[in-house]
Structure 1
Amino acid sequence: MIKPGFQKQKPMQKVLVALIPPTICAVYFFGLRVLALVLICIIFALITEWITASRRKAKVTQACLVTALIYCLILPPTVPFWIAAVGIVVGILFGKEVFGGFGKNVFNPAIVGRAFVWICFPVDMTSKFVPSFSGFPGGFAQWSMISSQEQPGYLLRAGLDALTSATPMFAAKTYGQFTDLGALFLGNISGLIQVEGHPIVLGAGSMGEVSALAILLGGAWLLYTRAAQPRLMLSPILGALFTALLLKHVAGVDTVPDPLFVILSGGLLFAAVFMVTEPVTAPKSPRTQWIYGLFIGAMIVLLRYKGIFTGAVAFSILLGNMLAPSLDMWMKRIRANREKV
């Protein structure tokens, strides 16, 4: 076994810079525990890729850092450290390295890790969301909401440990209660909702997905530096928007909320900016990229309101990853048939 070097990748460096706003906001909203989770994910991602890269005499890539950070930011802020470590190892190993390393993977490795822990540890991944900190200095002076002595009054009430938590999307689908769009845009999501006389904590969501503003800042940087394909970023948003409009206003499906709520809630926006735009797993031609993104956006809306898991982003992207190679082959066949004619 040799010691692999470190392969620098300028596009990945740009993505790391774009991830700074969501990461800073995650620390502000959820506390310094976020940094510990980031460090754990990066360490285990590097170790996993170092071992596998050594066997094939290749270098550890900076894409490994991007995968680790994206994976971490789509986890709940209360996720146990060991679950975070297990997920990133699975993501790097089975989402990328078994295919031969960077550039050969079919699936987005961050999503592979997230989907794995989501299915294997559903309680920790779906029912322990917490509200976000607010004011100054927010989470910069706290370890986490679950250990803070300066929690809002509703979190200090007796019997909190018996209360249920719900993300804005889950609250909308299950209880018909919608979070303020301004809170979804900024990320300061907190409070209690009453369901049949029982209080339910409104949890903000996964760490990097709660602030649409921070995500858009990262997306603007990716577009400015040409590190992401605009149509891959725009198409899933349009796919989700059109599907929500069709289901709500044409098909009359009442459980589908307004399109703006669909875009701002959950991980749709984060996925569109940082995961659908991954060039390795996306199709290569412009037309197939549009189809790919529109398909993922439409599947997110359909699976959110008809599937068991309300998030649906991970499974929609994995379905898109499976479809991508076929889309390119179909497009090549169509072009070849046109040339024959």
Structure 2
Amino acid sequence: MKALNEFVRKFEPDHATQPLLHTTYDAFYTFLFQPGTTTKGGVHVRDGMDLKRQMVWVVLALQVLYIFGTWNIGNQHFTALGRYTGLLEGLHLKIVYGLIQIIPIFVVTHVVGLGIEFLYAAKKGHSVEEGFLVSGALIPLIMPPDIPLWILAVSVAFAVILGKEAFGGTGMNIWNIALLSRVFIFFAYPTTISGDEVWVSGIEKVDVGVYASEAYTFVHHGFDWLFAGLGWNTFGLGGQLVADGYTGATPLGIAAKEGWAGVSAVYDQSSIFWGNIPGSIGESSVPLILFGMAFIMFTRIADYRIIVGGLIGFMVGGFMLNAIAPSELTADTPGIFKFMAIHPLRQMIMGSFLFAITFMATDPVSSADTPTGKWIYGFLIAFIGLIIRVLNPAYPEGWMLSILLLNTFAPLIDHYVYQANIKRRAKRTASMAITRDEIITKRGDVDVFTPENDEDYRPVGNVGIY
């Protein structure tokens, strides 16, 4: 390892004459090796886990969602075309199709985001900050599989420049960077991130009864010769979109209008739980999100207080809405009441709540800092987010808005927690203070003064104190 380190050091550019190249070199060098300097003195805590390696743990926890999302992109595409409807049917086609969709999203996100960070680091004359490692891994997972790449690039640039660099860089941002990228698209280009068709890749290019061959490019067909040589199925014409057998609506989109009865008529509960449904690339599989949740909690990368507080807030809000909803639902019952009546556990497995509370709300920079504040922060994110989801017919998902809202108020939450702690400790200190009148001088075995019925009085040496 020492020899490798010395070899890599030979390629280090000059910092003064080539600041951008040096910044790029330093970013990759610190990714490969731990910092060569540590704090000095016996009062400092030294640890091999620097910021970059801490963030890598979160990226590792997301890899299972990338694998699942790649498969699900292809699975939803071919299911809509009526081909390979089984989970493992046409597996090679589903994976290749998913990779062709997700790789450009991943590349554009990192080229734009890291490129901006490299430029700012070179301009400031310091090393590349590691903050985009997690943001860059999260952004592709919260996007539709057919998001236009130029819109994605603009949203990432907006989030990094105005959401982070304008505030001083990594560790100084007020809001979650990944969510800023999504919220920019939501308000600037709403049709690209809402509606039924955006959640299933390639379907907007296919008319009912027409073969989907035009939805494929030379990249897709470039694999046909390989698959044909192996005796496997090829992309070919791609199948036809059947109007009667296809819906690109997410469970939440259906629930907002028809309640759980409408959802169960289209998707079985098992599919919703495992994530075999249309939606953002990495937000749908409950078991894999729970795996990531356990992983980052066990490694203490994420604070359990935010996650558990969010789960409690979600259940409280869910049961409150259940109590408001009518006891009997009919065909004439407004959709909002049908949505209210859905059991909180069913609400929890629909949509992106578990993903948001696990990977978005726990961002250590934009979340609350105090232990008590983390409980409050997580609780309010879930409670407010569920209210937005159910009561806002124009936006049947509320975690993006609730997290950004609580990001804004996190310092205020911590402020009041600090003030409450100060007042409590001041009161406790005042109650324990020994005043002049409370010191009772003892002479021998006889007290000069002994308060009657005072259990707090006790002799200490020759002095009696309360």
| TM bracket, shorter-chain basis | 0.7 to 0.9
Q: Number of aligned pairs?
A: 314
Query: How far did 1:237 drift?
Result: 2.2
Aligned to 1:16: 59
Aligned to 1:186: 274
Residues 172 and 63 of structure 1: is their aligned pair in 2 closer, same or farther, counting only changes over 3 Å?
same
Contact 2:199–2:280 (CA<8 Å) still a contact in 1?
no
1:1-341 matches, within 5 Å, as: 2-3=19-20, 4=23, 5-6=26-27, 8=31, 9-30=52-73, 31-32=98-99, 33-127=101-195, 128-131=197-200, 147=216, 149=235, 156-157=241-242, 165-176=248-259, 177-178=262-263, 179-189=267-277, 204-250=278-324, 252=326, 253-256=337-340, 257-307=342-392, 308-341=394-427
Residues 298 and 210 of structure 1: is their aligned pair in 2 closer, same or farther, counting only changes over 3 Å?
same
Rounded to whole Å, the distance in 1 between the matches of 2:257 and 2:60 is: 37
Aligned to 2:92: none
Contact 1:94–1:109 (CA<8 Å) still a contact in 2?
no
Rounded to whole Å, the distance in 1 between the matches of 2:214 and 2:355 is: 23
Find the structure with the greater CA-based Rg: 2
Q: Deviations over 1:59-82 (max 9, x none)?
A: 223321210121111011111111
Query: How far did 1:249 drift?
Result: 2.7
Alignment RMSD: 2.6
Instruction: Report the 3-state secondary structure (helix = DSSP H, G, I; strand = E; otherwise coil) of the residue aligned with 1:236.
Output: helix
Rounded to whole Å, the distance in 1 between the matches of 2:305 and 2:418 is: 20
Residues 145 and 52 of structure 1: is their aligned pair in 2 closer, same or farther, counting only changes over 3 Å?
farther
Query: How far did 1:339 drift?
Result: 2.7
Rounded to whole Å, the distance in 1 between the matches of 2:19 and 2:170 is: 18
Contact 1:234–1:272 (CA<8 Å) still a contact in 2?
no
Query: How far did 1:286 drift?
Result: 1.1
Q: Which consecutive unaligned segments of at least 5 residues does structure 1 have? A: 133-143, 190-203
Q: Deviations over 1:1-48 (max 9, x none)?
A: 822232551210101100101111111111111122111111111011
Query: How far did 1:119 drift?
Result: 0.9
Query: How far did 1:271 drift?
Result: 0.6
Rounded to whole Å, the distance in 1 between the matches of 2:374 and 2:155 is: 28
Residues 235 and 145 of structure 1: is their aligned pair in 2 closer, same or farther, counting only changes over 3 Å?
farther
Instruction: Report the 3-state secondary structure (helix = DSSP H, G, I; strand = E; otherwise coil) of the residue aligned with 2:348.
Output: helix
Q: Which has the higher contact order (CA 8 A, sep 6+)?
A: 1
* TM superposition score normalised by structure 1: 0.85
Rounded to whole Å, the distance in 1 between the matches of 2:323 and 2:236 is: 44
Contact 1:236–1:297 (CA<8 Å) still a contact in 2?
yes
Q: Deviations over 1:285-332 (max 9, x none)?
A: 111100000000011110011222112211110011011000111111
* TM superposition score normalised by structure 2: 0.63
